[in-house]
Each structure stands twice: as structure tokens, then as C-alpha cells.
Structure 1
Amino acid sequence: MKHFTTEVLVIGAGGAGMYAAIEASRQGASDILLLERSLIGRGGATVMAQMTVAAALDEEDDWRHHLADTLAAGRGLCDPALATLLCEVGVDVIREMEGWKVGWARDGNRLRAVQAPGHDRARCVYVDFLSTGPAVSRTLRAQLQKHDRIRRTGDVVVTDLVTQDGHVTGAVGFDIAHGTPVVIEAKATILATGGLTRLYRRNSASAHMSGDGFALALRAGAKLLGMEFVQFFPIGHLAPRMVGMDPIMWDPFRYKLGGRLLNGEREEFIDRYGGTDEGKYTTTRDLATYAITQEVAAGRGSPHGGAWLSFRHVPAEELRAAFGPVIDKLAANGIDLTQNDIEVAPIAHYHMGGVQVDTAMRTNIPGLFAAGEVVGGANGANRLSGNAITEALAFGKVAGHEAAHAAPGPAFSMEAAKAALALVSATGPMRNTAALVAKLQAAMADHAGPFRDAAGLARAAAAIAEIRAETGDLPPGAPGMPFDLARLDWFDLRQMLLVADSIVTAASARTESRGAHQRTDYPETSEDWRLNLLLSGDENGLSLTRISVPEAA
């Protein structure tokens, strides 16, 4: 067994986790342990983000304008204090990243910015349209190297948090490379584990985005907010086959060059559903997802069940000037945008709900903080384009600051970790856990996707119960086997099933359509539902509480 002792434990080494670790070090924490289930700074969502980062950096802009757009996108459910933090601190962290030589694209002395969907002006900066996330991750990894107090450990999966007297005092997990148990003692713990989009059959995230943080938080006694709000990216790549490129790469093409979104009859259709593109990509993601899905349901979809995205009206020289070597990568895949339209369809992309925190990123459990996509509340019912990396960095900065100054709780006790240790050390019967993961993904996609109804959600709940029974109470095989993927999938399933249950429970309760949550049996938005659903419990039972949306200060 590996046993670590640290002052601040950061679980997850994407943008939020790396920034939190850096800030905790700057605030004087004597020892920070940054844990990642893959490679430090190379897993999670940040490194995969190819597009833009929203921040009011221009002298003619102001973070309050950015806030107004964020609140509008959230459809009345944003926590104004958290949204304010995102937009105001976001300016500071993006400027700091510039000082760290991330390489934001420039026009002379000004950072180059574009107007992304839902924004009232151009405020979304980028490195280049397909490398922004990798550049942010690379820059943060370089900064980590400057902090001797930050230890970095990869290939560790955290399965449970350790609680004593209502206080989080550490965590238990296992080392993937060796299969051995891991115990961590920590004065403060930060969840920076990202989202949950691996729950869906088609998604834009890494294979690690299983919703670990949500399940860890629930079992420790923390509360989750807005779990029904899963954002689907409307124009994920569908066809033709494309290798080595991100399925959500078409967003910057669309809003920079005005790609035309067409149905199977080659008609533009967004205006039929209350949106307008006017030659640019300005329609919000939830509306675009709805419009594409409705066109397909009406029999006006493209051959593979999506919509056409066309750039044939854009001259070849303009395409190359905008995207350079990307055009060559497309050509290697047999795609010539001057001759070929491509097919796109909605794909699970982001989760607006998550762990309930205050503006210090504290949960209701002392010793436990959260940062990044795992946090709920800032984005309400629908995230504004470009806010994801900004949120990760801003909330990571705050969480790292506060965790470094957290008051110590009770001393760590191995007795409190006994049950979690027993599970990671257990031996169970062999089973096809990969097939069970695929079965859960299919159930969520088919019955709890961008459009839901009571019957479908009931089928999803039944499927979750069935898969939970098939999964069993013990992981397959025995500990000590290196890179045991069947065992790893079992622990992922344990988290995924609880998180899927949380989504379905909240989605079943919210009998209206709002933002990313669309009920075909309750198609209208109701003022009576301008409230949040707060969820607590575990796989033995979940409970929901209705709470008011905080008012702006």
C-alpha cells in the first residue's frame, strides 16, 4: 500500500487542478499533492479544448457585460455570486496566463478576439483555433515545475474520500500501474475532476470524464446542484469518417467563417425554432441542438441522422488563411471543404450542474473544496460558449487560495478509511465491465439525452438499476494486477451509476424545459421552476430539495 501525507490534496490535474495547486503553493501551503488518473496535465478536458476562452480583456469591454451574457445563457438559474467570480477573476487569470507566455493570438498590442455564440461582442481569445487547450495545459505544466512544494503523481484513481466527524481528512484509491491500494492524508482536499460526459454514447470528452468527483462528493456528504443540465454540443462531427481530429472542431470554423447549417433538403432552418444566424454562428448551443434534433425527427435530417454543415461558399484561400495546416489534415481524411459538406449532430459536451460550493469554493463538508466543471451553479441551465477554461482557471485559483488557508480538522484515522480500503483490496468474480459501461452509455443516450420525457426517464432509471445489479458489490479479479482494465471499469461504473442516477432523478423531477434540460412532455419554461434542485445521498437512496436561486448582491 502507498501512503501519502500532504497539506493540500488536489484530485485532478486539468486546468482547474493545476491552477489550484500553483495557487496553494503561492499561498504558502507546505506540501501539495496533485493526483491524476492519467498523466499530469494531459488528461481531462482542458488539454482537449481546441477553441476559445471568454474574458472581458478589451478596454471597451467590462466583466459586467460578460456577466450579463453568462446570466442570460443560464436561463435564470445562475448563482450570481459564482457567475461574477467566473467573469471578474477570469480577467485576472487570463492575463496571468498571458504573462506566463501561453501565446494568445494578437493583433498588434491587443489580444485577438472573436464573438462566440451568446456573447454581445468579440471577447473570446485563443492561441489558435485548434490548439488553445493544449497551449493552456502546456503553460500550466511549465509553471508547476517552478514549485518544489507540489508533488505530482499520475495513474492513481481515487475511489472514496475519507471522512471523520463530518470532516474530509483524505482519500483512498489505487495505483493503476501496479494495482496496489493508495491512502492519502490531507488537511484540505480539492475536487478538480471535471465532468461526466463519458456517461453518454457519443461525447467529446476524454475516457476519464466519468463523473468521479460528483460521486466522491455525494458519498462524503456534500450536495449536488442542477444535475439535470447536461450540455450537448450541437455540431459534433458525424460523417465522413475522420481520424486524429476532435469531433467538436467545427465550432471555430462555423463562427469564424459563417458555415451554413442545412437540413437534409439543403435548407437553413435555425430561424424555424426562434434562432437566427444571419451569416454567423450566434445561436446558443441548446437551441441549435433542439433545432437539429427536431429536423431529424421530422425526416429532414442528413443521411447519417444529423445536419449538413457547408463551407462551399467560402473561397479556398480564405479557408487556408484562417486554418492553415488544419486544411491539410482534413485533406488527409479525404475532406475538401470547397467541395464537400460534412455531417454534424449533437454530442454530449459539458455539465452545468455539480458540487454546491460558496464563493470560496467550499462545500458543506469542512475540508472539501471543488473547482472547475465539477462545480455547479455558475452556469445555471446552460453554459455560455468560451466559459469553460475561464471557469476552470478562476475557480482553481480561488480553491487553491482557500485550501491553503483551511483550518485543520481531526487527525486522520486509518479506521475511518477501513471500508474504502477493503473495497480496493477486495477480490470478486470476473465480468465484462466494458460491456456494462457501453450498456449504461446507451441507456443514458437513448432515454436521458438532450430531450427527455417521463417514460424515457423511467426506462433510464430501470436500466441503471439493472446494470447496478449486474455490476455487483465487488470488483472483478484481485488487487495487484498492473493496468487491470476490467477492474478499473468496475470502479468507474460504481461512480457512473450513482451519477447517472443523479441526472435521471433530477431530470424526472423538473417538469419543464429550460436551457439544456428539454422535456418533450413539458415543453414550456415555467416561472414556478425558477429554482434549483439540490441532491444528496448515495446509491442507497437519493433525495431532492428545492432551493431558491440566489439573488444578485
Structure 2
Amino acid sequence: MNPLHIQTDVLVIGSGAAGMMAAKAAANEGAKVVLVDKSLVGRGGATILAQMTVAVALGEAEEDNADIHFEDTMKGSRGMADPEIVRTIVDRGPELIKEVEGYGVKWARTPDGKHSQVVAPGHSRRRCVYVDILNTGGATSAGLRKAIWKDESIERLKNIMITKLVIEDGTVVGAVGFAMETFQPVMIAANAVILATGGLTEIYERNSASANMTGDGFMLAAETGAELRDMEMVQFFPIAHLYPPLVGIDPIMWDPFRYKLGGRLLNGNHEEFMDKYNSEVAGKYTAARDQTTFAIFKEVEAGRGTPHGGAYLDFRMVPEEQLKEAFGPVIQILKNQGVDLTKDMVEVAPMAHFTMGGIRVNRTMETTVPRLYACGELIYGMHGANRLSGNAITEALVTGRIAAESAVKAERRQEPSGRLQAELEQELRRLEQLWHPREVDKDEVSMLSVKRELQELMWEGAGPLRTETSLREALDKLHELSARVEGTALARQTYYALTLVEKIELLHMLKLSESIIIGALARRETRGAHVRLDYDHAYDTAVSTTFRLESEGQWTMKEIPLPRAANV
């Protein structure tokens, strides 16, 4: 089959909020853009699932500015955020909120016409805007989708699996991969490439991610020689739904209602407990996510957990009319499934939610590889050891725009050489060998079954609570799984290369899981979301773990001291 050969100014890989913003911003600057995604454009990733708020220092609800937002974010990061990256993002947050409003994103307003803003844990001001309390991410994605659909400078390609970035003379010149439906080869020459593929939390058994968040962008970057940092820093959302089973309900949907109503967290003995860990006042919601996650698991560890291993979330003290007003139609959905919040408590527990480590970038969002940029959840620097609620979409929008502004300024290169064609041919041979190392009539092993093994392994061994023993046992089992997957032969398929995609994704997940465990073993402290039960204190000096992928496929890691940490 003849390859699909495209030439463009800017190639954007991934189409969540960061990718769509990057594509639109590059097009606005006059660039020809190709926006490619392994699923439907603008329909995957984390943003579309986000329900809550976006943190920007508009100062319309109370006195606020970017300096205060910066201070709150740095404090919340437990000494681990990159000040330059944080400064860059918080300074431009208000600008981007107003830009997407122009794309049709209708932020809630007060009766006098100001943006409605609420406080979220870790923020010292009412600075978080929202569309409605359960549709902020969906509305943001919808506005950006409409904007890119209307722009003729943006070519959108769905169901394309990019498997390799092509480097010539140390600089990225494009990418190669295949169309998933037909296995048609694809090569895209680009003056600059922007990675926007989102996080890697699909590697955990309990996670809030869409199924396509398998860490592809981290591996594409690492395989070109880009540097990754603090991969062990994964955020676990503290009050994700645990029990009873519910259908059609996002597991992290309880958070905004706790903002509004002050739902109580109780242990298995029906006792409030947050005051012991964070001095949180009864019925209030002020503890940051890492603190709440830690508190819930410590109660479980002490034998005071709920029957299914979490905590109770209790709204029974809230008047019924107030519940109905806050929950809207959700109250009836819950009642239809046997949950009456005026009488019943629900069980909640932490769930893998966000990747806080990632690709090292500078303030222009350029990686350590020239002309290769990254944005959104892929980057290191904004969150450190704890992400504040509301900072994720801010990061996605701002870094997507900055990556695009930087990419279109890259000096124009000459016509691409034959390197792209040669790399495509080599990559196709590699993929063929990966898919069919030998001829078989049916798949030797289901990639989905191995994926479930990996998710369970990472949850138990490198999840919210970690020890030297659990991490080393997980690393040994991880190597066994990797060897099994590498050698597995899959049956030939005439159309739709789904099993090949599953194997590629699983290998990405395995290799990134290894980086998480290596970093977690090296970080002999408890800091933010990284909890080592065998090291319960943080060092005065924070250290960043830096990862590079060597040519033989092994991680090398070194530790870089950061400025003396405050408020860890």
C-alpha cells in the first residue's frame, strides 16, 4: 500500500485541549497545521472528562493576581515545581480564559456580569472559573473543536498511530506511523512537532483516565533523546467513587459537590478524621489532594477503613432542597440506582488521576530536542509533587498556545531529505516484526489481559503507598511481563490493526512503569503524592529525578538538587 505522505509547517500529535489549542494558535499565526490523533480528533484525552474548574487570577471575585497564584502553586508543589514554568503559565492564564470564551466557552457569570469564581483546595483566593460545575472540560473541548473545525489551515487526521519521531542532524523533521483501519503507512514532514498526547494513568488499576492515555508522548520524546523528569510523581485523586457500583457516573464527580456543600469524610467507624492530618475543619474542604489521599489510606492502614477499603462521603447533614439544587439531575440518577443522599453515605477512595512528572521543557515549551515541543499533561514543571485543583486546564491551554507560538517561529528548513522515507521503511519492518515475530493462527496472549496484570501490579506495588519491598517486587514482575509481551506473536489482520496498537501501547506502559518504579526507589522520602511508608519525612532539599532512554532501551537516572524546599 502506498504511504500517505504529508508535508506541513506544524505537526500536532494529540487533540485534547492542549493539542487543539496548539493547532488553533499555530493556524492563527499563519501556519499550515496537521492535527493527528490515534482516536477521534477532539473526543479523547482527559480534558473532555474534566468536570470542575480552571484556576486563573482574574481578580473579579476578590483581590487576586498572578503573583499570588504563583505562590499558591509553588507552595502546593511541595518544593518541586519549576518556578519558570509556573510563572509562565499563571501569567498567561487569564488571557487564555478570555480567548476560549471567544470560541464559545461560556464561563459562568455573576448577576453583575463578572466571572463566577470559587475557591479550590490549595488556592488562597476564589480564582477558579467554571462553565457549570460538572461540564467545564466538556464545554472547553467543544469550544475548541468548533474553532479548529472552522479553520481551513488545520488538517485533521483521526485513527493515526504515530510510532516514531524522525530526527536528522539532531533535529526533529517529522514523524511516521500508520492508519489504524488499513495499516496504511503514514509519514508527515514538518518544520516543527508539538506533542500533546496527555498522561499515563491508564497504567493503574483504579484510574480516571480515558483508555487511550497510555503515555505515548513520553515514549516518543524519550526515544528521540528528550529528557523526562520526576516520573514517579503521579497524583491520586482522593475521593473517587468506590462503592456502591454506579452506572453512568464519572468516578471523580463527588469533588465539586464537596466544594459547594462541604460533605464530610468519615472513616469506617463513622468518625471525621481529616482534622488529625491537616487541621481541616469539620464539613469544610481545604486539604490538598495529596494530604487527603494520605489521610484516607492511613485510616485504612490503621483498620479504620470502610468495608471496601476507603472512606465514607456523607452529605446527610445537608438539607434536601440544597442537595437538589447543587446536584441537579444527578440526584435522580443516584436515586434510580439506590443511593439517596439524604439517608445514604457512599464509599470513596483514591484513584490515579494525573501525571505530574513529564518531559522537560523550557519556557517556550521546547524540549531538549530542537524543534520538538510539548504541552499539557506531558510536561514537567507546573505541579511538582502535588497538583492543585483547577491548574490542569490552565496548563493545557497556556502551554498549548506557547508551544504553537514557538513552533511557528522556528527557522524554515530546506525541502526535507529522503530521511523520512528511509525511516518509514525501517519502522515498518520493526512494526511487522513486533506484530508477527512468527506466524500464528490466533493471538498467543491477549494484550488486554496482560494490561490488566500490569494495572494490578502497578496499583499494588507502585500505587499511592510505596515501600522498598513493594517497589522491588513490582520491578521484578514488570521485567517478566515485558519479556512476555515482547515475544508474543499476534495473528494477522487484513483490516484494523487493533492488536498491534494494543501491543505498542502496552510496551509504552511497561517502559514508563519502569521509570516510575526506578524513580520511586530512588526517592527515599515522602513528598506530596509520593508516599514511602518506610520514609515518612521529606528532605529539606528537594531532588528532581532525571531520566534518559539509552539506545539499548534502558533508563539512566540521575538526581538533581532543587533549591531548598519550603512548605513541604
The answer, yes or no, to whether TM exceeds 0.5 is yes
The question of 1:64 aligning with 2:67 is answered yes
Task: Report the 3-state secondary structure (helix = DSSP H, G, I; strand = E; otherwise coil) of the residue aligned with 1:442.
Answer: helix
Q: Comparing 326-335 with 71-80, which one deviates more in the overlay?
A: 326-335
Match of residue 96 from structure 1: 99
Match of residue 53 from structure 1: 54
Task: Tell me, in whole angstroms, the C-alpha distance in 1 between the residues paired with 2:562 and 2:491.
Answer: 46
Match of residue 501 from structure 1: 514
The C-alpha deviation readout for 1:374-410, integer Å capped at 9, x for no partner, is 0011111111110000000000000011111112457
Task: Tell me, in whole angstroms, the C-alpha distance in 2 between the residues paired with 1:542 and 1:334.
Answer: 49
1:355 to 359, 363, 380: 359
Match of residue 33 from structure 1: 34
Q: Comparing 351-360 with 156-165, which one deviates more in the overlay?
A: 156-165
Do the aligned residues in 2 keep the contact of 1:161 with 1:170 (CA within 8 Å)? yes
Query: What is the CA-CA distance between 1:473 and the residue it aligns to?
Result: 5.1
Query: What is the CA-CA distance between 1:475 and the residue it aligns to?
Result: 6.2
RMSD in angstroms over aligned alpha carbons? 1.7
Query: What is the CA-CA distance between 1:443 and the residue it aligns to?
Result: 0.9
Do the aligned residues in 1 keep the contact of 2:58 with 2:64 (CA within 8 Å)? yes
Q: Comparing 228-237 with 153-162, which one deviates more in the overlay?
A: 153-162
Query: What is the CA-CA distance between 1:52 and the residue it aligns to?
Result: 0.8
Query: What is the CA-CA distance between 1:58 and the residue it aligns to?
Result: 2.0
1:455 to 454, 469, 474: 469
Match of residue 119 from structure 1: 123
1:9 to 8, 11, 17: 11
Match of residue 559 from structure 2: 546
1:334-353 correspondence runs (5 A)? 334-353=338-357
AA matched with 2:515: S
Query: What is the CA-CA distance between 1:455 and the residue it aligns to?
Result: 1.0
Match of residue 261 from structure 2: 257
Q: Comparing 156-165 with 368-377, which one deviates more in the overlay?
A: 156-165
2:110 to 102, 107, 115: 107
Match of residue 85 from structure 2: 82
Do the aligned residues in 2 keep the contact of 1:352 with 1:381 (CA within 8 Å)? yes
Task: Tell me, in whole angstroms, the C-alpha distance in 2 between the residues paired with 1:522 and 1:302.
Answer: 26
Match of residue 224 from structure 2: 220
AA matched with 2:547: L
Change (3 A) 1:258 1:26: same
Task: Report the 3-state secondary structure (helix = DSSP H, G, I; strand = E; otherwise coil) of the residue aligned with 1:526.
Answer: coil
Task: Tell me, in whole angstroms, the C-alpha distance in 2 between the residues paired with 1:4 and 1:209.
Answer: 26
1:428 to 432, 437, 451: 437
Match of residue 458 from structure 2: 444
Match of residue 152 from structure 2: 148
Query: What is the CA-CA distance between 1:83 and the residue it aligns to?
Result: 0.4
Match of residue 464 from structure 1: 478
The question of 1:21 aligning with 2:27 is answered no
The C-alpha deviation readout for 1:242-265, integer Å capped at 9, x for no partner, is 111110000001111000000000
Task: Tell me, in whole angstroms, the C-alpha distance in 2 between the residues paired with 1:432 and 1:292.
Answer: 35
The C-alpha deviation readout for 1:259-287, integer Å capped at 9, x for no partner, is 00000000000122234144221101111
Do the aligned residues in 2 keep the contact of 1:428 with 1:478 (CA within 8 Å)? no
The C-alpha deviation readout for 1:144-168, integer Å capped at 9, x for no partner, is 1232110011111212211122111
The question of 1:175 aligning with 2:182 is answered no
Do the aligned residues in 1 keep the contact of 2:540 with 2:564 (CA within 8 Å)? no
Do the aligned residues in 2 keep the contact of 1:425 with 1:478 (CA within 8 Å)? no
Query: What is the CA-CA distance between 1:366 and the residue it aligns to?
Result: 1.0
2:314 to 293, 310, 314: 310
Task: Tell me, in whole angstroms, the C-alpha distance in 2 between the residues paired with 1:133 and 1:341.
Answer: 27
1:239 to 218, 237, 243: 243
AA matched with 1:208: N
Query: What is the CA-CA distance between 1:101 and the residue it aligns to?
Result: 2.5
Q: Comparing 192-201 with 498-507, which one deviates more in the overlay?
A: 498-507
Do the aligned residues in 2 keep the contact of 1:168 with 1:368 (CA within 8 Å)? yes
Match of residue 376 from structure 2: 372
The C-alpha deviation readout for 1:186-227, integer Å capped at 9, x for no partner, is 111111010000000010010011111111111110000111
Do the aligned residues in 2 keep the contact of 1:190 with 1:371 (CA within 8 Å)? yes
State the aligned residue count: 549
Query: What is the CA-CA distance between 1:66 and the residue it aligns to?
Result: 1.0
Change (3 A) 1:423 1:550: farther
Match of residue 533 from structure 1: 545
Change (3 A) 1:335 1:532: same
The C-alpha deviation readout for 1:521-544, integer Å capped at 9, x for no partner, is 11110024x121111015621111
Stretches of structure 1 that go unaligned for 5 or more consecutive residues are none
Do the aligned residues in 2 keep the contact of 1:164 with 1:416 (CA within 8 Å)? no
Task: Tell me, in whole angstroms, the C-alpha distance in 2 between the residues paired with 1:54 and 1:490.
Answer: 37
Task: Report the 3-state secondary structure (helix = DSSP H, G, I; strand = E; otherwise coil) of the residue aligned with 1:114.
Answer: coil
Task: Report the 3-state secondary structure (helix = DSSP H, G, I; strand = E; otherwise coil) of the residue aligned with 1:168.
Answer: strand
Task: Report the 3-state secondary structure (helix = DSSP H, G, I; strand = E; otherwise coil) of the residue aligned with 1:513.
Answer: coil
1:519 to 520, 525, 532: 532
1:378-397 correspondence runs (5 A)? 378-397=382-401
Query: What is the CA-CA distance between 1:297 and the residue it aligns to?
Result: 1.2
Do the aligned residues in 2 keep the contact of 1:45 with 1:206 (CA within 8 Å)? yes
Change (3 A) 1:164 1:537: same
Q: Comparing 385-394 with 119-128, which one deviates more in the overlay?
A: 119-128
Task: Report the 3-state secondary structure (helix = DSSP H, G, I; strand = E; otherwise coil) of the residue aligned with 2:80.
Answer: coil
Change (3 A) 1:473 1:173: farther
AA matched with 2:102: G
Task: Report the 3-state secondary structure (helix = DSSP H, G, I; strand = E; otherwise coil) of the residue aligned with 2:245.
Answer: coil
Task: Tell me, in whole angstroms, the C-alpha distance in 2 between the residues paired with 1:70 and 1:349.
Answer: 18
Do the aligned residues in 2 keep the contact of 1:475 with 1:490 (CA within 8 Å)? no
The C-alpha deviation readout for 1:320-352, integer Å capped at 9, x for no partner, is 112211212222222211111000000000011
Do the aligned residues in 1 keep the contact of 2:204 with 2:459 (CA within 8 Å)? yes
Task: Report the 3-state secondary structure (helix = DSSP H, G, I; strand = E; otherwise coil) of the residue aligned with 2:291.
Answer: helix
Change (3 A) 1:209 1:507: same
Query: What is the CA-CA distance between 1:551 and the residue it aligns to?
Result: 9.4
Task: Report the 3-state secondary structure (helix = DSSP H, G, I; strand = E; otherwise coil) of the residue aligned with 2:150.
Answer: coil
Task: Report the 3-state secondary structure (helix = DSSP H, G, I; strand = E; otherwise coil) of the residue aligned with 1:359.
Answer: coil
Query: What is the CA-CA distance between 1:234 and the residue it aligns to?
Result: 0.5
Provide TM-score, normalisation by structure 1. 0.96
Provide TM-score, normalisation by structure 2. 0.94
Task: Report the 3-state secondary structure (helix = DSSP H, G, I; strand = E; otherwise coil) of the residue aligned with 2:143.
Answer: helix
Task: Tell me, in whole angstroms, the C-alpha distance in 2 between the residues paired with 1:346 and 1:266.
Answer: 18
Query: What is the CA-CA distance between 1:479 and the residue it aligns to?
Result: 6.0
Q: Percent identity?
A: 47
Task: Tell me, in whole angstroms, the C-alpha distance in 1 between the residues paired with 2:160 and 2:469.
Answer: 39
Change (3 A) 1:277 1:473: farther
Task: Tell me, in whole angstroms, the C-alpha distance in 2 between the residues paired with 1:309 and 1:49.
Answer: 20
Task: Tell me, in whole angstroms, the C-alpha distance in 1 between the residues paired with 2:535 and 2:163.
Answer: 37
1:133-212 correspondence runs (5 A)? 133-212=137-216
The C-alpha deviation readout for 1:472-492, integer Å capped at 9, x for no partner, is 25762336421x432221010
Change (3 A) 1:551 1:357: farther
Task: Tell me, in whole angstroms, the C-alpha distance in 2 between the residues paired with 1:473 and 1:172.
Answer: 24
AA matched with 2:25: E
Query: What is the CA-CA distance between 1:2 and the residue it aligns to?
Result: 2.2
Task: Report the 3-state secondary structure (helix = DSSP H, G, I; strand = E; otherwise coil) of the residue aligned with 1:256.
Answer: helix
Task: Tell me, in whole angstroms, the C-alpha distance in 1 between the residues paired with 2:183 and 2:563.
Answer: 45
Stretches of structure 2 that go unaligned for 5 or more consecutive residues are none
Do the aligned residues in 1 keep the contact of 2:306 with 2:312 (CA within 8 Å)? yes
